[in-house]
Structure 1
Amino acid sequence: MTPDEVIAAWDQPGATASIHPTRGISEGAYWASGEAQAALLAQDIPAGSRVMDFGCGDGRVAIPLRALGYDVTGVDASPNMLAALNRHAPDLATFRSDGSDFGKHLGRRKFDAVYCLAVLIHHSHETGQQLVERLRAVVRKGGILVLDWPVADEPAETNAWIGVTTWSRDQQDQITKRLGLTRLDVDRPWAVYQA
């Protein structure tokens, strides 16, 4: 799918009901899953860091991570998702971006850490690689980049907005080596790199 198709899909009425499997259980389970993911991120991101949540959605992870003492900026391409986040946390810094215009929003500023959860799964390998390159560009040297890009023995690209694109470990290693990223040896549901 193209980035514009993914954004359009997330902006459809009722799309937020599909944002995470726990939402089908209850709102409490949904927000608790964000708290659990924020706690995991806090194990790899130094306390008090300036952090970007790319693809922040309605703030399920950004809000609890900020509550842990991080300086979090939520970034999403969907105006509806950012509006939902702002209803939950009106004072959390946000800006709208698909990743192609970070310079417009940030200038030369960089983050201590960037995480991107449940975003790359919606994009083609080509678009996903472009996003990884752009996210790497806004992480300071020595900073942390967290990427949720699942590995499969037979990588495949999704052709549906709620599908899942998977990668080979070799694809990931080639991209991250070229970008100067070192994979950290941690047991997480996502890959953690140091720039």
Structure 2
Amino acid sequence: MTIATVIEAWNRADPAAIHPTRRISEDAYQASGRAQAEALTTVLPDGCRIVDFGCGDGRVTHPLKALGYQVTAADGSQAMLDRITAADPDLATVLTDGTDLAAKLPRKADAVLSLAVLIHHGYEAGERIVEGLRAAVRVGGLLVLDWPTAAQPAEGGSWIGVTTWSRERQEQLATRIGLQWVDSDLPWPVFRAVKAA
């Protein structure tokens, strides 16, 4: 499964398939985004420049902007970015698969979020995406990545499958590209961008 295959699947996805809470109700879906944005405020400096990669239709992006952050919505799916723009034409957007994110930004971000992307990609694509996201954040900035580990890691078998990593493989990549773990109470790993080893 390639990055392009996953992006094409999201381009065709029914909006109801984007997140499990959307099957409950649109209100539940939006409330889950507001709750995640509020949780992120525990690690993100006030008013910082954030790139929300894999933003989908803005479930977390819009609440972060409302909280005073300078948010850029980034996604590989033009269909998702069109939904973001329809809801907020003034929100900055970037079409990217993540690997080229740094080249598409006017300057490096203070933080890059990727809350539902890595789980849908295999190891090779996942590594390329993490490398691209790291390149887009300034030294000292933060990356919040939905990058799960498991005792029995496995690659997801489809665009909606979930890939889990071994902690060792995750740590090797983090060390190689310059990511240090940050202690937090968030449900996702938080990293500080440092100079690569």
Aligned length: 193
1:4 and 2:4 matched = yes
Within 2, Cα distance between the matches of 1:174 and 1:188?
22
**Does structure 1 residue 134 correspond to structure 2 residue 132?**
yes
2: CA distance, partners of 1:38 / 1:18: 21
Deviations 1:38-77 (A, max 9, x none): 1111110100100000011100001000111000000001
Question: Structure 1: 5+ residue runs without aligned partners?
Answer: none
| TM-fit CA distance, 1:175 | 0.8
**CA distance in 1 between partners of 2:13 and 2:180 (Å):** 40
Alignment TM-score, normalising by the size of structure 1: 0.95
Displacement of 1:104 in angstroms is 4.2
Deviation of 1:13 after TM superposition, in Å, equals: 5.1
Provide the residue aligned with 1:58 in structure 2.
57
Distance 2:105 2:47 in 1: 19
- The one of 154, 157, 160 equivalent to 1:159 is 157
Task: Structure 2: give runs of 5+ residues left out of the alignment.
Answer: none
CA distance in 2, matches of 1:2, 1:151: 21
**Counterpart of 2:34 in 1: which secondary structure?**
helix
CA distance in structure 2 between the aligned counterparts of 1:163 and 1:102, rounded to whole angstroms: 24
1:18 — aligned with what?
Answer: 17
For normalisation by structure 2, the TM-score amounts to: 0.94
What residue is the counterpart of 2:47 in the other structure?
48
Instruction: Indicate the residue corresponding to 1:31 in structure 2.
Output: 30
2:100–2:132 contact (8 Å) kept in structure 1: no
SS in 1 for 2:93: strand
Structure 1 moving runs of 4+ over 6 Å: none
1:105 Cα deviation from its structure 2 partner? 1.9
- Distance in 2, matches of 1:127 and 1:104, equals 18
Percent of paired sites with the same residue? 57
Which letter does structure 2 place at the counterpart of 1:93? A
Q: Distance in 1 between matches of 2:12 and 2:47?
A: 35
Q: Structure 1 counterpart of 2:59, which letter?
A: R
- Provide the aligned C-alpha RMSD in A: 1.1
